[in-house]
Amino acid sequence: MPLSFGDCTEVIQRAADSPSGYFRMLIKVGSQKSRRLKKQPYTLRINHILSTFSNFSATAREALEELAEYLMSCMPGCRTARRQRSGSTDYDLVCGMEGLEVDYRSELGRSVVCECKDWNHPADFTTMAKFCRVLDSTKARFGILFSKNGLSGRGRTEFAEREQLKIFHDRGIVIVVLDLADLVKVGDGGNLIHLLREKYEDVRLDLRRGGKDAAV
């Protein structure tokens, strides 16, 4: 069963590339409660993920997909299905939002599609446009792009980042991007729901949060 963030004290502590190029994650049990529940079924799944990361037959993309599924399944009411296939495309991860939502998630719709890119370079314009087409064909209003190195044009509102905004203006579809720094933040105890809400508002309201991109 998926765990809420209140109960889910096991999080991704660190994410980094290994010299072999495989995506490795370390999961830390951070509380006494987690130690008491050490033999529960979800810990078996975590051990499986860890063994997958150390298995050189597994690709970095598979590891990232499994991590994405694990994180999304920790959200209350989120049902996940990985590697689904239609007649025209493959879905890395499909999430079904169940139950009553009283926060921003009520605007996202019942189906959320996730795409995973473990590339050593930022996702480009073509990747963003193609993902938009996938969401448009499924009538989904919200998608998550797990891109290890974020988007091209980041911080300058160019290339893929500009397309991200144009997609919302033209289609009403919000695509948020979670990069390696975001995964590390969640691993340090950050709230994934809060992080997604911030990124959702950034796209919908075209916000610039701090830094040199903020309005003066």
Instruction: Tell me which residue has tokens 């109960």.
Output: 7
Mean pLDDT of 83-109: 85
User: Going from the N-terminus, what domains does the chain have, and what CATH number goes with each?
Assistant: 60-213 (3.40.1350.10)
Name residue 73's amino acid: S
Mean pLDDT of 88-117: 87
DSSP 71: H
**E-assigned strand segments in 30-172:** 78-85, 90-97, 111-117, 142-147
Name residue 19's amino acid: P
Quick one: pLDDT band at residue 207, thresholds 50, 70, 90? confident
Mean pLDDT of 88-108: 84
Q: Return the pLDDT at 54.
A: 45
Q: Return the pLDDT at 128.
A: 95
- Higher-confidence residue of 173 and 32: namely 173
- Higher-confidence residue of 187 and 28: namely 187
Q: Return the pLDDT at 15.
A: 39
Whether the Cβ atoms of residue 150 and residue 124 lie closer than 8 Å to each other: no
Q: What is the pLDDT of residues 180-198, one digit of tens each?
A: 888 878 877 778 889 999 9
User: What mean pLDDT value characterizes the chain?
Assistant: 75
Q: Return the pLDDT at 45.
A: 53
> Is the model's pLDDT at 17 over the cut of 70?
no
Distance CA 167, CA 106 (A): 20
Percent pLDDT > 70 in the chain is: 69
Q: With H, G, I as helix, E, B as strand and everything else as coil, classify residue 115.
A: strand
Mean pLDDT of 87-115: 86
Q: Return the pLDDT at 210.
A: 59
CA angle 26, 31, 32 (to 5 degrees): 130
Closest CA to 50 of 83, 12, 5, 82: 12
Q: What is the pLDDT of residues 36-84, one digit of tens each?
A: 444 444 445 544 554 554 444 456 678 888 888 988 988 888 999 999 9
Q: Return the pLDDT at 3.
A: 44
Instruction: Tell me which residue has tokens 């144009």.
Output: 166
Mean pLDDT of 152-171: 91
Quick one: pLDDT band at residue 142, thresholds 50, 70, 90? very high
